[in-house]
Amino acid sequence: MIVHAYYEEDSRVRREAESLVARGRPVDVFALRRAGDDPEAVVEGVHVHRLNVQRHQGAGLGTYLREYLAFLFRAGWAVTRAHRRQRFALVQVHTLPDFLVFAGLPLRLVGVPLVIDLHEAMPEFFRMRFPGAANPVVHRLLVLQERLSVRVASAAITVNDALAARLVAMGVPAAKITVLLNSPSLVRFDQAAYPSRAFCADGTLRLVYAGALTPTYELDVAFEAIARLVSVRPGLSVALEIFGRGDAETPLRALATKLGIADRVTFHGRIPIEDVPAAIAAADIGLAPTRRDPFTDFSLSTKIFEYGAMGKPAVASRLPLVERTFPPGSVTTYAPGDPASLATALLAIVDDHQARDAAVARTSERIRELSWEHEADRLAALVDRVAPDRLSSSR
């Protein structure tokens, strides 16, 4: 597997790699290298090769492009050299960027199957992340590189039906696409493994957000909603615990101070994936506030799954895939960008314990249906199908 990320921090890649190892298939991952990390390590049975490229989160377009290209060439060279020693059965490339798939092209040319795992829609991501550089010409070029990247691959994986339908509309054969939901493992997110917390047990409504601090996630709206709660319900003690990092942290801290809620918001920074379930277990409501735009219309927050798996009510932006995935009476939604709507959604959960308990039960049932344990079987089946004659003698 090749991924432009720090392996330990990418929950999807870890789930896929660890599930294949658990089924007896050795996996090597070529990833970014954090300062101070060893060049190689074995993590839960997965052999991780850390290439000397670092992430520059929140940087400008030029920095991102240089970083992407540096990793593309280093990963291609490293995988080609490693293949000479151990003969890989399959190369799987995780995006973004889509063109990272060309790091596996040398192996593809000698007959090794190549799978592209599309985590996002790169043209829409670019338009959202770099609006100043987005224009029709750039968009067409990004769509072109996406098409070429998928065409080079033997098979394509994506994270939901909406992205799969988008690829089919672009001309990708439906038979080439496998959907693997970005759902959590119920072995890791097991509420029975952590102390149970009664709702508002200590007299404080404890909200939790576990994810990136980027403009995609409208924590600014969540802050304004908390300020409204404090105003309309002064007797309600509210606290928000944030677990994550990103370039939006500094403006978010300033906003919390401006709104007078800095003492109610705690920034814990990014924590290991293994510690996320405990952080959620200690809260009352999980927040998945996502800004709506053409990019997020194709997205479904993993946070909703994680909160539900831990038996917590989830409040999420009313996005198309949220409403399509979770039935009425499960996840509580609010109008994206509307602090008043979010505040109303939170108070509804606080005030109606019967509806709250029923929502948690419905969400948990849905998540059991969609858990990674089911998706892992489909990943293993894809590997068997794409590389049936190579698995007995290769990695």
- Report the pLDDT value the prediction gives residue 125, as an integer from 0 to 100: 84
Distance CA 82, CA 40 (A): 13
| Six-digit token string for 239 | 């606290």
Domain chopping of the chain, boundaries = 2-183+372-386, 191-370
**Sign of dihedral through CA atoms 158, 163, 169, 175?**
positive
Domain 2-183+372-386 has CATH 3.40.50.2000: yes
| C-alpha span between 134 and 128 (Å, rounded) | 9
Three-state DSSP class for residue 287: strand
Please state whether 111 falls in left (phi above 0), alpha (psi between -120 and 50) or beta.
Answer: left
**DSSP code, position 209:** E
DSSP sequence for 89-112: S-EEEE-SSGGGGGGGHHHHHTT-
Rounded Cα distance between 170 and 275, Å, is 40
E-assigned strands of 9-140?
28-32, 40-43, 46-51, 91-94, 114-118
Per-residue pLDDT tens digits for 309-350: 999 999 999 999 999 999 999 999 999 999 999 999 999 999
Residue 258: count of CB within 10 angstroms of its CB: 11
What does DSSP say about strands 114-118 and 155-158: parallel, antiparallel, or unpaired? parallel
The pLDDT of residue 59: 63
- List pLDDT tens digits, range 121-165: 888 888 877 777 778 888 889 889 999 999 999 999 999 999 999
CATH homologous superfamily for 191-370? Answer: Glycogen Phosphorylase B; (3.40.50.2000)
pLDDT by position in tens, the chain (length 395): 999 999 999 999 999 999 999 999 999 999 999 888 999 999 999 999 999 998 776 667 778 888 999 999 999 999 999 999 989 999 999 998 999 999 999 999 999 999 999 998 888 888 877 777 778 888 889 889 999 999 999 999 999 999 999 999 999 999 999 999 989 889 899 999 999 899 999 999 999 999 999 889 999 999 999 999 999 999 999 999 999 998 899 999 999 999 999 999 999 999 999 999 999 999 999 999 999 988 888 889 999 999 999 999 999 999 999 999 999 999 999 999 999 999 999 999 999 999 999 999 999 999 999 999 889 999 999 999 998 765 544 44
- pLDDT for 395 equals 46
Task: Specify the amino acid at residue 307.
Answer: Y
pTM, rounded to two decimals: 0.87
Residue 128 CA to residue 216 CA, distance in Å, equals: 8
Domains 2-183+372-386 and 191-370 share a fold: yes
pLDDT at 57: 67
Q: What is the pLDDT of residue 292?
A: 93
For residue 143, give every residue at least 6 positions away whose Cβ sits within 8 Å of its Cβ, in sequence order, or none.
123, 170
